[in-house]
Amino acid sequence: MPSHSEPATQQAHQLAAAVGAQLYPASVISRDGALFCLLRQGQEKHLAIFSPGERLPVGGFHGEPQGTLSGGWRYWRCPRDATNARALRGAFPWLAPQRLGVARSVGCGDRLGLATPGHVRSVAKTFLDPDTGQERPGMRPIFAQQSIRENSRTGRTPQEVLDDAMWGVFQAGWRRGYGADADHLKSREDVDATLAAGYTFFTVDPGEHVDGQADHLRGAALQERLEALPWDLLEDSLADLRRRYLGHTFHLGSLALTFDPESLAVAAVKYGRAVAHTAALYRHLLAQAGPEGFELEMSVDETETPTRHLEHLYIATELKRLGVRWVSLAPRFVGRFEKGVDYMGDDGRTSPEALARFRQDLAGHVAIAQALGPYKLSLHSGSDKFSIYPIVAQEAGSLVHLKTAGTSYLEALRAVAQVAPELFRAIYAFARERYPEDRATYHVSAQVARMPDPATIPDGELPGVLDQFDARQALHVTFGSVLNARGPDGSLRFKPALLAILDRHEEEHYAALERHFDRHLGSFVG
């Protein structure tokens, strides 16, 4: 049986010292007399297998035998590649992504592939009461999370995202399980690529099938679009739709909802095609992975107008009618969920009135999720929304999935600003130039004119740039341009140096992430 014990760790320390390497102690696993661990030599990390025998104790691994050490230990130096990642997941089940179910959870996007040990440090605290030292229900983590759009901008494959997260889980010694989120999937091809890589959580984004004009249609124009819905794909008819919804009051805990003909037509026109698309991708997943091989989230958050409570009721009821099973749903809540900054009301301010309106809106969505599920409400663009975390924790309880992404990249830049100010200054100046173009694919409001001039900021004050609204948002949305920027000779301009600095100063990087995620998660478990 695999185990982690103090004697095994002490033995691994001695063996690592014998080969001139630094040991990551939390990574040590003992199995069948052999030791598996992560070592660092210079700037390179590798999987080390120490065995008392002449052969590798577990199949599937590959590496170079390095000879025999004192005590008869054989040492294999194994690269951190996809083959050995797959072998580790096969040998030690906690290193493979798992389904998390309807439990309070957090998604930790990592655009650089280096953040997981920092995420682990913060997530681990949620499972331990700081006052009593007793175990408590924590935040179940998704450590591998990236959308297809983000993959294209970072130059990483779904397999690389998952493997990078797994190596971080191995390094940090996390054994409570984690998920892998194939985020914002839009097609069967997206599903197939992420399923083949080993993902367990699939976020369907049917935003292209949401009719954003439905809120503004009335009369004949609305009726025309209603009749044109793909009724065959919905396995429905207009007459049956009306029969199910009209003339009924839906009692959902403290919430009572009633459709009239117009509100039903708007809900169906706005979300009917999205429901059909989600059901199609769900059935494709079901055919490929089986009912126990995955879990599903539906996301309609990236739309212009909020998801009304009646529309949420329509979505959930229709998904159930079509046999779809899901663990979380991301509606478009009221207010503004801009990238990298706190929650704002529609007027751009985080006012008491805006927060009260959000609470009222959220409470209705929670009532629906409890009555028709239970399933979690997923807070997309959830990074840095500190003003609403207490509200979400109070209203939703455990029925919440907090999804973060670019905030980890920003905290990596904070670490760079601390230890390599000139590199950060160059990245920030480039981001200011790129922002007017890169903002086109995001809902953001930062203005270049309000961003501090990098040339005027002393080195010691550069980390504080990450706390300035406009600069933080600009750095958030320009990550793809920064990572893909090339110099006159065609070589990557920033990415190699950025990764090298973070690797060399990994403790500073992990500490920045830990502090930042403590702020995110504290409201949900405190």
Domain of 139 in residue numbering reads as 94-202
Pick the last residue of a domain from 353, 376, 399.
Answer: 376
Q: How far is CA 20 from the centre of its chain?
A: 37
Does residue 402 sit within a domain? no
Cα(272)–Cα(230) distance, integer angstroms: 8
- Domain membership of residue 524 (yes or no) is no
Distances (CA, A) of 351 to 242, 338, 347, 386, 392: 40, 16, 9, 13, 16
The 10s digit of each residue's pLDDT in 43-89 is 999 999 999 988 888 889 999 999 899 999 999 999 999 999 999 99
One domain, residues 170 and 314: no
Burial 278-308 (b: 16+ CB within 10 A, else e): bbbbbeebbeeeeeeebbbbbbbbbbeebbb
Whether residue 280 sits in one domain with residue 180: no
Q: Give the integer Cα–Cα distance in Å for 60 and 78.
A: 11
- Same domain flag for 118 and 210: no
Q: Are residues 299 and 416 in the same domain?
A: no
Assigned domain for 383 exists? no
pLDDT in tens, 448-493: 999 999 999 999 999 999 999 999 999 999 999 999 999 999 999 9
Question: Residues, the chain, total?
Answer: 526
Tally: H helices and E strands in the chain: 18, 16
- 422 and 508 housed in the same domain: yes
Q: Does any domain span residue 127? A: yes
Q: Is residue 381 part of a domain?
A: no
Nearest to 110 by CA among 152, 161, 155, 166: 161
Give 271-290 as a DSSP string. Answer: HHHHHHHHHHHHHHHHHHH-
Name the domain count of the chain.
4
In a domain, 488, yes or no: yes
Helix 116-125 × helix 406-419 angle, to 10°: 110
CA 44 to CA 65: how far, in whole Å?
17
Q: How far apart are CA 39 and CA 21, in angstroms?
A: 6
**Shared-domain flag, residues 236 and 286:** yes
Q: Are 40 and 48 in contact (CB under 8 A)?
A: no
CA 3, chain centre distance (Å): 29
d(CA 340, CA 349): 15
DSSP bridge partners of 23: 39
- Of the candidates 304, 298, 375, 377, the one whose C-alpha atom is nearest the C-alpha of residue 337 is 304
User: SS3 for 302?
Assistant: coil
> Closest by alpha carbon to 238, among 194, 208, 4, 246?
246
Same domain, 183 and 236: no
Distance CA 212, CA 451 (A): 33
Contact 376, 401 (CB under 8 A): yes
Q: Provide the pLDDT for residue 3.
A: 61
One domain for residues 57 and 113:
no
- Neighbouring C-alpha atoms within 13 Å toward the C-beta of 343: 24
Q: What pLDDT score does 4 carry?
A: 64
Active site residues: 183, 297
Residue carrying structure tokens 């985020």: 183
Encoded tokens for 300: 């309609």
Cis-peptide into 374, omega within 30 deg: yes
Q: Are residues 227 and 184 in the same domain?
A: no
pLDDT of residue 5: 76
Token readout for 21 is 């390497």
Q: Which of 359, 376, 393 is the last residue of a domain?
A: 376
Amino acid in the structure at residue 265: A
Residues 121 and 144 occupy one common structural domain? yes
Q: How far is CA 37 from the centre of its chain?
A: 27
Cα–Cα distance for residue pair 514/118, rounded to 1 Å: 5
Angle between the 406-419 and 421-438 helix axes, to the nearest 10 degrees? 150
Shared domain for 20 and 39, answered yes or no, is yes
Q: How many CB atoms lie within 10 A of CB 408?
A: 26
Alpha helices (H) in 92-157, listed in sequence order: 116-125, 148-154
User: How far apart are alpha carbons 296 and 280 in whole angstroms?
Assistant: 12
What does the block give as tokens for 343? Answer: 């929650």
Q: What is the DSSP letter of 452?
A: P
Q: Is residue 523 included in any domain, yes or no? A: no
Q: CB within 8 A of 332, min separation 6: which ones?
A: 300, 301, 302, 303, 305, 306, 307
Q: Per-block average pLDDT, block size 10, for the chain (526 residues)?
A: 78 97 98 96 96 88 93 96 97 97 97 98 96 93 94 94 98 98 96 96 97 96 98 98 98 96 98 98 97 97 93 98 98 96 96 98 98 97 97 97 97 98 98 96 94 95 97 97 96 98 98 98 91
Q: Is 400 within a domain? A: no
The rounded distance, in Å, linking the Cα atoms of 338 and 222 is: 31
Please state whether beta strands 105-108 and 74-78 pair in parallel, antiparallel, or not at all (unpaired): unpaired
The span from the CA of 139 to the CA of 297, in Å, is 17
Among residues 470, 464, 484, the alpha carbon closest in space to that of 439 is found at: 470
Longest dimension (CA), the chain: 85
CA distance 397 to 387: 16
CA distance 486 to 316: 46
Task: Return the pLDDT at 1.
Answer: 47
pLDDT (0 to 100) of residue 53: 86
Query: For residue 64, what are the β-bridge partners?
Result: 77
Pick from 72, 91, 110: which residue ends a domain? 91
Is the domain of 274 the same as that of 198? no
